[in-house]
Every structure is written in C-alpha cells, then in structure tokens.
Chains A and B, each alone.
Chain A
C-alpha cells in the first residue's frame, strides 16, 4: 500500500500568512494526488486534483504542485475561512490512502 506523510501535522498561522503543506508518498504516484479541506462537523471539500488542477470555484490563493513522491499545497495569503484541516489523497491505486492531515490553527 502507498503511504502518505503530511508535514507539518499542526501549523500555527495568522491571517495573511503564506502557508505550505507537504505530502510525501512512499512510492511514485505520478500526479495522482488530490487535496481536501475539512472544517469541523463538515464533509471534506475537494480543492485540488491531479496535483495542481484547481477545482472550479476554489479561490486562486490555493495552489498545488509536485509529482512522483513529493507534493505541496500552498495558500498564498491565509484568510479567516481557511483555518481548517487539510488532507492529501493518492489516486494512483487502491487502497486510495489519505495523509494524516494538517491542522491550521490561529
């Protein structure tokens, strides 16, 4: 199975900060990676797929990059509504594993 390791697990941030979250895969997954945002009590929301494709309607301050085994999610200028937990997921092969999550805190 492909393991995904996100770093950091927690990040203390402020509005306006530039934030980068890393997701490392235990083996190459090409660009088969998605990023999700989850707020408390809500289902996850797809932000990015195919490593760098922004889902329609997602603000352009979110961007993704990477291929192979190392990927990043960047939020260029953190907004109050961005405080949430972020997960990566590999779409290369089942089981379609998720990273352990990164929680952004004020």
Chain B
C-alpha cells in the first residue's frame, strides 16, 4: 500500500526557515517524481513544486510564488523528499501535502505550517 507522510510543520516567525519532510513507503521511491501542494486555510489548492527522479537529474521546478525561497530535494536511500522553505512570509501559512507524480493519485495527510510573529 502506497503511503506518504509529511512532517516538520509548525509555527515559525516571518523571515525564518523551516524544512518539511515527506516519507514514502509501499512503492519504489526512487522511481517517482515527488510533488508538493499547499492549501491555505479555507482556500484552494496551490501546486508548489516538484523534483524529478535521479534518472532525470533530480532537478526541480517551482511555482513563481516560492521560486528562489523554497528548495525541494530528495534522499532516495531514506525514502524522503524535503521541502526547505526560507524567507517565510505570512502568506506561506498553509497545509502542505506531498504527492507522487502526476496525476496525483496518492496524497499524504499534510503538515501545517503557520507563519506568524
């Protein structure tokens, strides 16, 4: 059974950094691109970015709203994808989900990030 579990969320002040983790199980982790999607409280879904597999250079792409501040990486040996978030803004407050490659058939339960002073 495919499972994804996000962790690392919490309360952080504006301008600070936070790193989220997504641990996968039940599938060959290194064979799949990994995506991050977020949802601000009471709002819709926003695609954040994704990282390609090792075969495709483990390169990443990002939404304009986070490009230059967020970095996605992966450690296939640990079955973990990371979302490093720097220079956080109040508008980054959201529930952050990780998902497998398109279409998003599998989702984690999400981890809540609150950016507030």
Indicate, yes or no, whether A interacts with B. yes
List A residues at the B interface (Cβ < 8 Å).
1, 34, 36, 38, 43-46, 49-50, 55, 87, 89, 91, 94-101
Contact across chains for A95 and B104 when beta carbons are under 8 A apart: no
With both beta carbons as reference points, the residue of chain B lying nearest to A38 in the complex is identified as B45
Nearest CB on B from A5, distance (A):
12
A49 to B102, CA, bound (A): 9
Chain A contact residues: helix, strand, loop or mixed:
loop
Q: In the complex, A45→B35 CA distance in Å?
A: 15
Contact A34 B104 (CB under 8 A): yes
Q: Which of A36, A43, A45, A101 has the most CB of B within 10 A?
A: A43
Within the complex, what minimum Cβ distance (angstroms) separates B35 from chain A?
8
- Which of A44, A96, A98 is close to B107, meaning CB atoms less than 8 Å apart? A44
CB distance from B3 to the nearest CB of A (A): 12
Minimum CB–CB distance from A63 to chain B (whole Å) comes to: 16
Minimum distance in angstroms from B32 CB to a CB of chain A: 15
Is B50 a contact of A94 with CB atoms below 8 Å?
yes
CA distance A94 to B105 in the complex (A): 18
Interface centre among B45, B62, B105 (most CB of A within 10 A): B45
- Contacts A34-B104, A49-B103 given: A95-B63 contact, CB under 8 Å? yes
The smallest beta-carbon distance between A33 and chain B, in angstroms, is: 9
> Shortest CB–CB separation between residue B47 and chain A, in angstroms?
5
B47 touches A97 (CB 8 A): yes
Contact across chains for A98 and B104 when beta carbons are under 8 A apart = no
Is there contact, CB below 8 Å, between A98 and B47? yes
Q: Which of B45, B50, B63, B107 contacts A87 (CB 8 A)?
A: B45
Q: Per-residue 0/1 for B85-117: is the Cβ within 8 Å of any A Cβ (1 yes, 0 no)?
A: 000000000000100001111011110000000
